[in-house]
Amino acid sequence: MTGRALERLEAVYAIAQHRAAYSPEEDAAHELAAGWMRDAGLEITRDGAGNLFGSRGEARVWAGSHLDSVPTAGRFDGALGVVAAIEAADRLRDRPLAVVAFRAEETGPLGSMRIESTPDAYLEVHIEQGPVLERLGEPLGVVTAIGGQARGSKVFEGRADHAGTTPMAMRSDALVDAARFILHVHDSAGDDTVATVGAIEVEPNAGNVVPARVTVAIDARSADPDRLRKLVADIGFEPRWIRDPTPMGDAFAAVLPEAPRLVSGAGHDAMFVPNASMLFVRSLNGGVSHHPDELSSEEDIELAIGVLTAALDRLTR
């Protein structure tokens, strides 16, 4: 079974590395998955957001993920959850359940935010996208929560002067001020919090002009809502938006009571689907993600499919 799962992941990747939201490439991935769902004995429907469902019977339990991808994507992010759910549904052909491929997770998530009905349980298998399980030597981890997140920006104003004729003591360099702030952002994180400046806009952005205006984008995250707000206050910026952590259910914990517990620092469709539980699969190559070197082993994928099947079996009896 796992060999087929890997073949299907490769087939999705062969459509295109970048399958943008609602693009022809994402459409093609959905059509491919729809065929596999039919092969597993599932009936195909789509909702108003374009989410793909393969259902059997009175499907109150869902499993799945997404098929869109970022420009630099690897083979596993999103697609593994859809393929694993199809494999599990194929092994449980007498059970009422649904496999779902959400639209546009990487840009919203737009699809899962617009579902028209809610399940009694939603199960999502996903690569970890980080190095923790690899360092622990553990193939699988149960997700206890998806971390909260705050995003915003900060602007630094200076003066555009000639880089060759303006003495250093007479400059008002916005980029120097922004650089000090970036170090402050980095130093403010810790104790289960992370903070990142991942984008900078410099004006006028010329090599021979002292920067007059700099805008930095700030991303702050924590699994604890109080720590998240303290981090925002310590950094000193006004978030454009802030989202509290999302607790996950215990559907996988019931099957894997001894597995490591992890908090997801990345967002997922499971944030927006009620009664969600998540299972992480070990990411190899140092946990690299959103990159062609993204990797999970055949053995770990087989374990994950088996655990997903067991959890669905338990929920649909």
DSSP conformation letters of 136-147: HT-SEEEEEEEP
Per-residue tokens: 207: 């090599």
d(CA 253, CA 89): 20
Per-residue tokens: 188: 């403010």
| pLDDT of 110 | 94
pTM, entire model:
0.89
pLDDT of 128-171, one tens digit each?
A: 999 999 999 999 999 999 999 999 999 999 999 999 999 999 99
| pLDDT of 88 | 98
| pLDDT of 2 | 63
Beta bridge partners of 126: 280
d(CA 144, CA 280): 11
Write out the H or E segment, with its range, that includes residue 247. Answer: strand 246-247
d(CA 283, CA 212): 42
Where do the DSSP E strands lie in 26-180? Answer: 43-46, 52-56, 61-66, 97-102, 121-127, 140-146, 148-157
Residues comprising the chain, all counted: 317
pLDDT of 182-219, one tens digit each?
A: 999 999 999 789 999 999 999 999 999 999 999 999 99
- For residue 178, give the nearest of 161, 151, 197, 159 by alpha carbon: 197
- For residue 277, give the nearest of 255, 251, 254 by alpha carbon: 251
Q: Tens-of-pLDDT digits for all 317 residues of the chain?
A: 469 999 999 999 999 999 999 999 999 999 999 999 999 999 999 999 999 999 999 999 999 999 999 999 999 999 999 999 999 999 999 999 999 999 999 998 999 999 999 999 999 999 999 999 999 999 999 999 999 999 999 999 999 999 999 999 999 999 999 999 999 999 999 978 999 999 999 999 999 999 999 999 999 999 999 999 999 999 999 999 999 999 999 999 999 999 999 999 999 999 999 999 999 999 999 999 999 999 999 999 999 999 999 999 999 99
Q: Which domains does the chain show, CATH number per domain?
A: 2-147+245-315 (3.40.630.10), 150-243 (3.30.70.360)
Amino acid at 62: W
Residues with Cβ within 8 Å of residue 109, at least 6 apart in sequence: 66, 102, 267, 268, 269, 271, 272
281 within 8 A of 139, measured Cβ to Cβ: yes
